[in-house]
Chains A and B, each alone.
Chain A
Amino acid sequence: MAKITYAEQSYECRNDESVLQCLTRHGVELSSSCHAGVCQTCMIKATTGTPPADAQKGLKPQLQQQGYFLACVCTPTEDLTVVNPDEDVMPQIAATVIDKTAFNDAMLRLRIKPETSIDYHPGQFVNIHRDDGLVRSYSIASQANDDYIELHIERLPEGRMSGWLHDEIAIGDKINIDGPHGECFYIDNKPDQNLLMVGTGSGLAPLWGIIQEALAKNHQGEIHLFHGSHSAQKLYLINELQQLADNHANFFYTPCISGPENKGFKAGRANELALSQFQILGGWRIFLCGHPDMVNDTKKKTFLAGASFNEIHADPFITQ
């Protein structure tokens, strides 16, 4: 008989019952609907123990890898500690700032070294906690085997966290983070698949990490990156990305400027340029990172252009 631990309480799961039935029998209410492993309403995450593969059918591979499963069709074969993803609070870890390099006036590269190493994929995000309770999410640009976590901090108007990180935090300082979170990362299950990536501003951070990982894993399909901003001031890593495109026949880089000062760049919004170049996206994998309006709009448009819902990954950041 497997034991299910939820919110620090352990419950015996009978051999003939699902995790959902076990929790319900003990008075723990999870949202659920179809009870047949279809609607995904009861999706929860195992933080220890491995859920059976049958309970992960139909989930994005990125979620499967992180232990997500459907409670209604999970007959556990081993003890599981589970959390409701909406309430998944991860422990805070102290991390030391080891590098602070300005890409330009607006964009800062911050490298931090956590005291205990965390297992992440580039493209996932961490939350930074300031002592006064302010929390902001930042996507990870570094690779899993780097001995630091790289974040790109865009200075936002009135941005309390970004202003603090740009102006006050110094090398050697400690900050608290938790994570990793999110399912916006590369998985090498379809090496021939074409990838379309659209990012605005520091939405490049996760994409930079994902591109490096895909190329390191010898991805064979085409990888198209459209990075956009209103002005050239918020584009960065331009030379590095051009270099990468020169060195890899399957990587294509299009820097886009939507404002009037667009000399030397593609004129227009990154998402619109991407969608006009690629109008049929059936079979593609899509990564969308940056401004929430751009991300939500493009999610819908790429889906309507034929991309499968399970193959659209998005990482909107909050602009405040």
Chain B
Amino acid sequence: MSESLYDRIGGEAAVNAAVDVFYRKVLADDRINMFFEGVDMEKQAAKQKGFLTFAFGGPHNYTGKDMREGHAHLVAKGLNDSHFDAVMENLGATLTELGVPADLIAEAAAIAESTRNDVLGK
């Protein structure tokens, strides 16, 4: 069996390296940072870690139902494809910045992309 994406990308150390960079990009991005106004940064950082672990093909416990329920309040505030695209862009830029090879970035992006309909409640 070939090594998993999570192992090839660098596992937990990669998540730890990526989380600050990714979260900083998201908070600085005026297209999406209004969704993060007033949220508890500690809790949010842990969620970002969970998301990155998931996108890196790591162990997780998410179901489509969790994704729907977790984002429903944001969909009600207008969360749509353009915002999802912005997050995808930040994810790609984060991994590029950390020197992750393009083929692995594509794999991670595909995993993240697979949540689009659940996140947007479609």
Residues on the B chain within 8 Å of A36, using CB:
12, 53, 58-60
Instruction: Check A309/B28 contact, CB under 8 A, given A34-B59, A38-B15.
Output: no
Q: Contact at B46–A39, with CB atoms within 8 Å?
A: yes
Q: Contact at B61–A38, with CB atoms within 8 Å?
A: no
Instruction: Check A34/B58 contact, CB under 8 A, given A39-B50, A304-B28.
Output: yes
B37 to chain A minimum Cβ distance, whole angstroms, is 10
Interchain CA distance A294-B60 in the complex, whole Å? 35
Per-residue A-contact encoding for B42-73, CB less than 8 Å = 1, 0 else? 00011101100110001111100000000000
A305 to chain B minimum Cβ distance, whole angstroms, is 9
Residue of B nearest to A36 (CB): B59
Is A242 positioned at the interface, with any CB of B under 8 Å from its CB?
no
Residue of A nearest to B19 (CB): A309
Is A299 positioned at the interface, with any CB of B under 8 Å from its CB?
yes
Question: How many A-B contacts are there with CB distance less than 8 Å?
Answer: 60
Instruction: Check A309/B27 contact, CB under 8 A, given A34-B53, A38-B58.
Output: no
Interchain CA distance A304-B12 in the complex, whole Å? 23
Q: Contact at B27–A38, with CB atoms within 8 Å?
A: no
Q: Contact at A303–B27, with CB atoms within 8 Å?
A: yes
Is A57 positioned at the interface, with any CB of B under 8 Å from its CB?
yes
Residues on the B chain within 8 Å of A304, using CB:
24, 27-28
Q: Contact at A35–B19, with CB atoms within 8 Å?
A: no
Instruction: Check A34/B24 contact, CB under 8 A, given A40-B46, A41-B50, A58-B16.
Output: no
Interchain CA distance A35-B24 in the complex, whole Å? 25
CB contact list, A111-161 vs B, under 8 A: none
Is A37 positioned at the interface, with any CB of B under 8 Å from its CB?
yes
Choose one: A35, A37, A306, A309; the contact of B12 (CB below 8 Å).
A37
Q: Contact at B61–A300, with CB atoms within 8 Å?
A: no
Q: Contact at A58–B59, with CB atoms within 8 Å?
A: no
Is A32 positioned at the interface, with any CB of B under 8 Å from its CB?
yes
Is B41 positioned at the interface, with any CB of A under 8 Å from its CB?
yes
Q: How many residues of A contact B (CB 8 A)?
A: 20
Interchain CA distance A30-B115 in the complex, whole Å? 25
Q: Contact at B12–A33, with CB atoms within 8 Å?
A: no
Is A50 positioned at the interface, with any CB of B under 8 Å from its CB?
no
Per-residue B-contact encoding for A284-308, CB less than 8 Å = 1, 0 else? 0000000000001001100110101
Q: Contact at B20–A33, with CB atoms within 8 Å?
A: no
Interchain CA distance A151-B12 in the complex, whole Å? 40
Choose one: B16, B27, B47; the contact of A300 (CB below 8 Å).
B27
CB contact list, A7-51 vs B, under 8 A: 32-41
Q: Contact at B27–A34, with CB atoms within 8 Å?
A: no
CB contact list, A35-75 vs B, under 8 A: 35-41, 57-58
Q: Contact at A58–B12, with CB atoms within 8 Å?
A: yes
Residues on the B chain within 8 Å of A296, using CB:
41
Q: Contact at B16–A34, with CB atoms within 8 Å?
A: no
CB contact list, A201-222 vs B, under 8 A: none
Interchain CA distance A27-B58 in the complex, whole Å? 26
Residue of A nearest to B42 (CB): A309
Q: Contact at B50–A309, with CB atoms within 8 Å?
A: no
In the complex, which of the residues B27, B61, B62 has the most CB atoms of chain A within 10 Å of its own CB atom? Answer: B61
In the complex, which of the residues A37, A296, A303, A308 has the most CB atoms of chain B within 10 Å of its own CB atom? Answer: A303
Q: Contact at A34–B19, with CB atoms within 8 Å?
A: no
Residue of A nearest to B41 (CB): A299
Residues on the A chain within 8 Å of B27, using CB:
300, 303-304
Q: Which residues of B contact A (CB under 8 A)?
A: 12, 15-16, 19-20, 23-24, 27-28, 41, 45-47, 49-50, 53-54, 58-62
Could you write out 22 A-B pairs with CB less than 8 Å apart?
A: A34-B49, A34-B50, A34-B53, A34-B54, A34-B60, A35-B59, A36-B12, A36-B53, A36-B58, A36-B59, A38-B12, A39-B49, A39-B50, A40-B46, A40-B49, A41-B50, A299-B41, A303-B24, A304-B28, A306-B24, A308-B20, A309-B41
Q: Given A41-B46, A57-B12, A303-B24, 9 more contacts at CB 8 Å? A: A32-B61, A34-B60, A36-B12, A36-B59, A36-B60, A38-B15, A58-B16, A304-B24, A309-B20
